[in-house]
């Protein structure tokens, strides 16, 4: 094992067999709780609703930000909330009530970052336009993620992640060539938007704290990161007159890529793009002459897979150092030794007092600031007293009044 691998293994409580990785023995990686946190001391207010807004602050919470997630007093919740809101403090505040305006402004005054994913005019209607918030706190970094951004002819349209997947061109390039454009079951639009926003927030914080001392507004349409991420879609149409088109399990411009069914009915994805990986693939499949064209190669490859079981295929690919993997499902991923050794599946303390909850680990892996999940997503309002009382200095009377009138 190289030195690089040791850097990471040294900071782990792992390398225990999965059998021993029982909830009662291993709650998260507490060894990481004491490490320095990238965003320690950075306070983030998250007033977003499922999924892009809360996921953004989740990525920051993994690395030590003090995230305060604001929900309406009786929120609609999602079964993924223990993951989406992990490591955050959860408070309730009904932003549509006039009494909430000053409470919200007090929170903004003591925070570094605000994220939300409402439609463009919503925050303004509640009295929280950028000009107002910027005046209250000139150092505030405000990341907005309305469906189509703050400007342009579709700015008023409502959008969710799935809409983003269709609008950005992704669905168009997903599905069979002769079938409809397709979506997957992954909330790809929302979560990519979250990732871009988390990155943008860190960029803005660094600019504020090293250069300008100033906050700024980040305007990111939920549909836009996907559009940016599909590198070929504009330039290929621009230069060839032909837009990239879906091609099922294969790739329209690379003959060495497919998902094949094995003798025992499992699916295996292979791909090769460089001279080395193509050579390794051909050798593994025992196909010598690839000059006859893509279709002949693919048929020969499909035949090869259909004559072998998944375990025979996996063995051959490992032996031949060829590029490929079975299409993993969740059950396989959770049990996989590689993911276990990478701490990619962890047990997290349940914020509501139940047994630990198993979920994804922290990504990516930093050698000195490894990140940490303090607890799963809390109940709505679980941290009201902590935040309103300790952070804002509200009296118990004041909190009681707000609670009785349904503001918090």
Partner 1 sequence: MAAWWGGPYTADGVSLVHKVRNRNKLMATLDLSNPGSTPLFRQMVQKSDVVLLNFRPGTLERWGLSPEVLQTWNPNLIVCLLSAFGQSGPYRDRPGDGRVAEAFAGHAYLNGNPDGPPLISQMDMGGSLAGSWSAMGIVFALYWRDVRGGRGQVIDVAAYEPMFRQIQQHVISYTEYGITEKRAGNRKSVGSPWVASETTSDGKFFTYSASTRTSERDQLHAMGLQTDPRFADVDAVEANAEEYRAAAKEWIASKSQEEVLAAFECFSAAGTPVLSGADLIKDDHILARELVVTLDDPELGSVRMQGVVPKFSATPGAVRHAGRKLGADNERVYRSIFGLTAVEYQDFQKGGIV
Stretch of residues binding partner 1 (CB under 8 A), selected from 282-290, 291-299, 314-322, 378-386: 314-322
For 143, the enclosing helix (H) or strand (E) is: strand 141-144
- Interface with partner 1 (CB under 8 A), residue from 16, 236, 287, 294: 236
Whichever of 243 and 287 has its CB closer to partner 1, that residue is: 243
Least distance from partner 1 to the Cβ atom of residue 202, Å: 4
Cα 196-197-202 angle, rounded to 5 deg: 100
d(CA 78, CA 64): 24
- Interface with partner 1 (CB under 8 A), residue from 28, 56, 59, 87: 59
- Interface with partner 1 (CB under 8 A), residue from 108, 123, 202, 285: 202
d(CA 237, CA 208): 39
Least distance from partner 1 to the Cβ atom of residue 10, Å: 10
SS3 231: coil
- Interface with partner 1 (CB under 8 A), residue from 16, 132, 139, 248: 248
d(CA 333, CA 339): 7
Cα 241-245-247 angle, rounded to 5 deg: 145
SS3 67: strand
Note whether 94 and 100 are within 8 A (CB).
yes
Whichever of 245 and 396 has its CB closer to partner 1, that residue is: 245
- Kindly report the backbone phi and psi dihedral angles of residue 357, in degrees, each rounded to the nearest multiple of 5, phi listed first: -115, 130
Q: Does 315 bind partner 1 (CB under 8 A)?
A: no
Whichever of 256 and 388 has its CB closer to partner 1, that residue is: 256
d(CA 237, CA 115): 35
Whichever of 45 and 198 has its CB closer to partner 1, that residue is: 198
In eight-state DSSP terms, residue 379 is P
Footprint on residues 78-117 left by partner 1 (CB under 8 A):
79-80, 82-84
Whichever of 38 and 287 has its CB closer to partner 1, that residue is: 38
Count of residues interacting with partner 1 (CB under 8 A)? 159
Stretch of residues binding partner 1 (CB under 8 A), selected from 27-35, 94-102, 208-216, 288-296: 208-216
d(CA 89, CA 55): 14
Token representation of residue 350: 């349940």
d(CA 325, CA 259): 9
d(CA 107, CA 125): 18
Least distance from partner 1 to the Cβ atom of residue 137, Å: 15
d(CA 105, CA 136): 7
Footprint on residues 329-388 left by partner 1 (CB under 8 A):
329-331, 333-334, 337-339, 341-342, 344-345, 357-361, 363-369
- Interface with partner 1 (CB under 8 A), residue from 107, 204, 285, 378: 204
The residues that are catalytic are 190
- Interface with partner 1 (CB under 8 A), residue from 35, 132, 243, 392: 243
Residue 364, preceding bond cis, omega within 30 degrees? yes
Q: Does 53 bind partner 1 (CB under 8 A)?
A: no
Footprint on residues 252-271 left by partner 1 (CB under 8 A):
252-254, 257, 259, 261, 267, 269-271
Least distance from partner 1 to the Cβ atom of residue 150, Å: 8
Stretch of residues binding partner 1 (CB under 8 A), selected from 215-223, 304-312, 390-398, 400-408: 215-223
Q: Does 297 bind partner 1 (CB under 8 A)?
A: no
Least distance from partner 1 to the Cβ atom of residue 116, Å: 14
Whichever of 315 and 385 has its CB closer to partner 1, that residue is: 315
Stretch of residues binding partner 1 (CB under 8 A), selected from 26-34, 87-95, 193-201, 393-401: 193-201
Least distance from partner 1 to the Cβ atom of residue 106, Å: 24
SS3 367: coil
Beta bridge partners of 67: 44
d(CA 226, CA 193): 7
Least distance from partner 1 to the Cβ atom of residue 402, Å: 24
- Interface with partner 1 (CB under 8 A), residue from 105, 251, 283, 379: 251
Find, among 138, 79, 93, the residue nearest to 111 by Cα.
Answer: 138
Going by their DSSP bridges, the two strands 357-360 and 113-116 should be labelled as: unpaired
Q: Does 17 bind partner 1 (CB under 8 A)?
A: no
Residue 8: CB atoms within 10 A of its CB come to: 16
Going by their DSSP bridges, the two strands 324-326 and 141-144 should be labelled as: unpaired
Whichever of 223 and 402 has its CB closer to partner 1, that residue is: 223
């Amino acid at each position: 094992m190289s030195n690089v691998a040791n850097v990471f293994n040294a900071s782990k409580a792992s390398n225990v067999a999965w059998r021993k990785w029982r909830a009662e023995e291993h709650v998260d990686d507490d060894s990481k709780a004491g490490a320095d946190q990238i965003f320690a001391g950075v306070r983030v207010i998250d007033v977003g609703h499922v999924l892009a807004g809360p996921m953004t602050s989740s990525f920051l919470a993994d690395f030590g930000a003090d995230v305060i997630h604001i929900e309406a007093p009786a929120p609609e919740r999602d079964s993924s909330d223990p993951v989406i809101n992990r490591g955050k403090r959860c408070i309730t505040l009904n932003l549509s009530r006039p009494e909430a305006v000053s409470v919200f402004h007090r929170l903004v005054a003591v925070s570094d970052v605000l994220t939300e994913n409402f439609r463009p005019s919503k925050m303004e209607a509640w009295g929280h336009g950028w000009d107002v918030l910027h005046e209250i706190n000139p150092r505030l970094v405000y990341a907005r993620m309305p469906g189509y951004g703050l400007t342009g002819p579709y700015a008023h349209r409502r959008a969710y992640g799935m809409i983003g997947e269709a609008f950005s061109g992704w669905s168009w390039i997903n599905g069979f060539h002769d079938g409809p454009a397709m979506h997957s079951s992954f909330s790809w639009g929302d979560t990519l938007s979250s990732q871009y926003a988390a990155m943008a927030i860190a960029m803005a914080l660094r600019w504020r704290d090293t250069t300008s001392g100033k906050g700024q507004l980040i305007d990111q349409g939920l549909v836009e990161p996907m559009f940016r991420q599909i590198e070929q879609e504009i330039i290929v149409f621009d230069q060839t007159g032909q837009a990239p088109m879906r091609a099922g399990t294969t790739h329209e411009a690379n003959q060495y890529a497919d998902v094949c069914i094995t003798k025992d009915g499992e699916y295996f994805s292979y791909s090769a793009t460089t001279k080395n990986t193509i050579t390794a693939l051909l050798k593994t499949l025992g196909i010598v002459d690839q000059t006859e064209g893509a279709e002949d190669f693919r048929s020969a490859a499909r035949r090869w897979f259909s004559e072998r079981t998944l375990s025979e295929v996996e063995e051959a690919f490992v032996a031949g150092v060829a590029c490929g993997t079975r299409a993993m499902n969740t059950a396989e991923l959770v049990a996989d030794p590689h993911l276990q050794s990478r701490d990619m599946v962890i047990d997290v303390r349940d914020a509501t007092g139940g047994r630990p909850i198993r979920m994804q680990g922290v990504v990516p892996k930093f050698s000195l600031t490894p990140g940490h999940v303090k607890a799963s997503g809390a109940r709505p309002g679980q941290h009201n007293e902590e935040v309103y009382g300790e952070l804002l200095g509200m009296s118990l009377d004041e909190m009681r009044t707000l609670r009785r009138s349904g503001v918090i």
